[in-house]
């Protein structure tokens, strides 16, 4: 198995098609065009084996505000492992590469995890955000109660955050977190 790190700009069309196909399969068709867009424009960790693309994840830059300070955030997106190689450590391998990027280049790491995906991240030291989650929408700051409980953080250059302070995510189309 080989692991490759590459920026979106370095991936050719066939590689991007393979990533999208992996994500569509891994999420049982519940991976939207907006979800796809969220995973582009940053760094990708790709694991290949003899059968092709086995695992993928990306980290893109976002801005999250905490206690009046906007933090440069490495946001993890589009993590998936091919069905026949799940539970073999590839998700952890991809995540480790993304964490290395976050720890060296960002104030903070963040991601939204499902109940099924959360154990991968918590085992690696990601912490569930216990506080309120908001977004800076076109209409101002709005609370996102549906995102509370599913947002995970990894302190990087900014250090730990105070859960008594709200977390405000930058706006984007589709799922905000």
pLDDT, tens only, 145-162: 999 999 999 988 888 899
Q: Give the pLDDT confidence score for residue 159 in this predicted structure.
A: 87
State pLDDT tens for residues 44-62: 999 999 999 999 999 999 9
Answer for the pair 135, 100: CB distance below 8 angstroms, yes or no.
no
Q: Give the pLDDT confidence score for residue 87 in this predicted structure.
A: 94
pTM of the model: 0.96
Give strand pairing partners of 3.
47
Q: Give the pLDDT confidence score for residue 116 in this predicted structure.
A: 87
For residue 13, give the 3-state DSSP assignment.
helix
127: confidence class by pLDDT, cuts 50, 70, 90: very high
For residue 103, give the 3-state DSSP assignment.
helix
User: The dihedral of CA 16, 22, 26, 31: what is its sign?
Assistant: positive
The answer, yes or no, to whether residue 8 has pLDDT greater than 90, is yes
Average pLDDT over every residue of 122-138: 96
Give the integer Cα–Cα distance in Å for 127 and 146. 18
State pLDDT tens for residues 73-115: 999 999 999 999 999 999 999 999 999 999 999 999 999 998 8
End-to-end Cα distance, the chain: 31
């Amino acid at each position: 198995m080989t692991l490759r790190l590459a920026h979106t700009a370095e991936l050719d069309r066939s590689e991007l098609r393979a990533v999208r196909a992996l994500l569509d399969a891994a999420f049982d068709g519940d991976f939207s065009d907006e979800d796809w867009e969220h995973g582009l424009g940053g760094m990708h960790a790709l694991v290949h084996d003899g059968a092709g693309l086995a695992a993928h994840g990306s980290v893109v830059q976002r801005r999250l505000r905490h206690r009046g300070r906007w933090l440069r955030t490495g946001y993890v997106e589009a993590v998936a492992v091919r069905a026949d190689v799940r539970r073999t450590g590839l998700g952890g391998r991809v995540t480790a590469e993304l964490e290395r990027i976050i720890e060296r280049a960002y104030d903070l790491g963040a991601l939204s995890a499902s109940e099924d995906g959360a154990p991968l991240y918590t085992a690696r030291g990601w912490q569930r955000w216990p506080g309120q989650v908001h977004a800076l929408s076109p209409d101002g700051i709005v609370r996102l109660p549906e995102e509370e409980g599913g947002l995970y953080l990894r302190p990087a250059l900014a250090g730990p955050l105070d859960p008594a302070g709200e977390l405000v995510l930058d706006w984007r189309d589709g799922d905000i977190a």
